[in-house]
């Protein structure tokens, strides 16, 4: 499977997200991670803001993420995903750019296509 070439932390992120496992989701990030979330127009800094974001947009909307495609360039992974959930339209294409450091997500850029 092509997903097997993804770094473990990215697969852990997707799996934790789909399981709505807040603890596992947060464990994929460094202590001072930032999510640059262009679709909501703000940056989420640190685990408390990231936790609130995850529970609001993934847990409460019962969002599930399917990987469409991705590229890897050293420690940066660009990814297109399909979000399905209980939100207007029920599915939408998302864009992720993971920046990794020490086997964790240091920065995540997120947007909608």
Segments of the chain assigned E as strands? 29-37, 42-45, 64-73, 76-84, 91-101, 104-112
pLDDT, one tens digit per residue, over 8-67 is 999 999 999 999 999 999 999 999 999 999 999 999 999 999 999 999 999 999 999 999
The CATH classification number of 2-112 equals 3.10.450.50
pLDDT given for residue 60 in this prediction: 96
Cβ atoms of 30 and 106 within 8 Å: the answer is yes
pLDDT, one tens digit per residue, over 85-100 is 999 899 999 999 999 9
Question: For the chain, what are the domain ranges?
Answer: 2-112
Q: Residue 66 and residue 26: Cα distance in Å, rounded?
A: 19
């Amino acid at each position: 499977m092509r997903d097997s070439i993804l770094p473990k932390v990215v697969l852990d992120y997707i799996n934790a997200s789909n399981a709505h496992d807040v603890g596992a989701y947060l464990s994929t990030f460094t202590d001072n991670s930032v999510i640059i979330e262009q679709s909501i127009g703000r940056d989420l800094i640190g685990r408390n803001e990231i936790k609130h974001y995850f529970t609001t947009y993934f847990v409460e909307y019962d969002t599930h993420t399917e990987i469409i495609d991705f590229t890897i360039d050293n420690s940066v992974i660009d990814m297109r995903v399909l979000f399905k959930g209980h939100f207007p339209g029920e599915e939408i294409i998302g864009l992720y750019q993971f920046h990794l450091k020490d086997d964790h997500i240091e920065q995540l850029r997120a947007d909608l296509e």
